[in-house]
Every structure is written in C-alpha cells, then in structure tokens.
Amino acid sequence: GAGVSQSPRYKVAKRGQDVALRCDPISGHVSLFWYQQALGQGPEFLTYFQNEAQLDKSGLPSDRFFAERPEGSVSTLKIQRTQQEDSAVYLCASSFGTVDYEQYFGPGTRLTVT
C-alpha cells in the first residue's frame, strides 16, 4: 500500500512569505507527527495529532507555526512570515497507535527561505 506522502517535496520561499506543507498519512493511521530536521541534525519534534485533536504542540518554535488536521486524515503545517532560520526539511510521520507503534515517515519537504 501507499506510504506517507508529502507535498511539495521542495519549496523555495522569500523571507516574509507564508507557506503550507501537506502530509497524507497512511490510511487508518490514528497518530500523525511533524518533525523539523535542520541540515546535519536529527529531527526535532514539532507537534502531534491523535485523529483531529492536536494533543501536543510543545515543539512549535514560534506562533508563526500552525498545524491542523481537521478531518483526522490529511494534515497541513503552515508557517507564516517565513524567516531564514525556518529553512529545514519538514518530516511527517504517521502511526497506527502511540508509544510503541512504529512511526512511518514521509520523504519530507525541503524548505529554503531566501
């Protein structure tokens, strides 16, 4: 079956622009996670959904970052007024459950802010 897909794969934005990154999880997966991976670093947690409920957004770096999953399936990560420090790969992962269930990762969206 299809894995986790993300679009666009690459995004170049001018500083100050708003961007929207999409994640299509594996069908039936309850949990959805967003991570930010800076160049040469490990992924860092941003936020987590269980169905449509956003249960943890402690990793969002500022109020310019917003995520939603309105119908408990597709999720969108929105970044307003992008800054150069937002340049990174944004990874989405989904899982059937929570703690001890495997998270399946998408290929990521590489965001470059110029």
Partner 1 sequence: AQSVTQLGSHVSVSEGALVLLRCNYSSSVPPYLFWYVQYPNQGLQLLLKYTTGATLVKGINGFEAEFKKSETSFHLTKPSAHMSDAAEYFCAVTFYNQGGKLIFGQGTELSVKP
| Contacts with partner 1, residue ranges (CB under 8 A) | 3-4, 31, 33, 35, 40-45, 48, 50, 55-56, 59, 91, 93, 95, 97-108
Report the alpha-carbon distance of residue 80 to residue 46 in Å, rounded.
Answer: 15
Tokens of 91: 């990874």
CB of 18 to partner 1, least distance (A): 25
Q: 26 vs 80, which CB is nearer to partner 1?
A: 26
CB of 46 to partner 1, least distance (A): 10
Please state, in angstroms and as integers, the Cα–Cα distance from residue 22 to each residue in 26, 58, 106, following that order: 13, 20, 11
Q: 2 vs 14, which CB is nearer to partner 1?
A: 2
Report the alpha-carbon distance of residue 74 to residue 93 in Å, rounded.
Answer: 11
